[in-house]
Amino acid sequence: MAEAIQKKLKVEVEKYAQMQKEVSKSMSARQKLETQLTENNIVKEELDLLDSSNTVYKLIGPVLVKQDLDEAKATVAKRLEYINGEIQRYETLLKDMEKKSEQHREVLSSLQQEFQKAQGLAVGKV
């Protein structure tokens, strides 16, 4: 009886660990997005400060590609929107993950209690 519970416990623990990993992954992804957001904001500001006299380049791989200032501005704005959307998505994902992990935690704790009870019984018997 105790062993069965123990096995169950192990399985649940693994699942929970997995959940935690996923949560942390999404967390880090979200953080990345945050940094990108700030960066793009700065770029936007700088581009606004520039006038059309100076050329704008975009680094694509090892190549610096000339870009039009307006195009650049538009591109940056689009990117900003995209990043914002991604952040939202990740937030919802995180919430769901949190809930799931909570549930898992509860299950784990209940299992643990059962296990302890079983162990206690076993000890009592012995």
Residue with tokens 């990043």: 83
32-36 LR contacts (CB < 8 Å, sep 24+): 33/83, 33/86, 33/87, 33/90, 34/87, 36/83
Q: Pick the closer one to another protein by CB: 55 or 116.
A: 55
Which residues in the 25-64 window bind another protein by CB under 8 A?
Answer: 36, 39-40, 42-43, 45-47, 49-50, 53-60, 64
Q: How far apart are CA 10 and CA 18, in angstroms?
A: 12
Find the shortest distance in angstroms from Cβ 44 to another protein: 9
Interface positions with another protein (CB under 8 A): 36, 39-40, 42-43, 45-47, 49-50, 53-60, 64, 67, 72, 76, 79
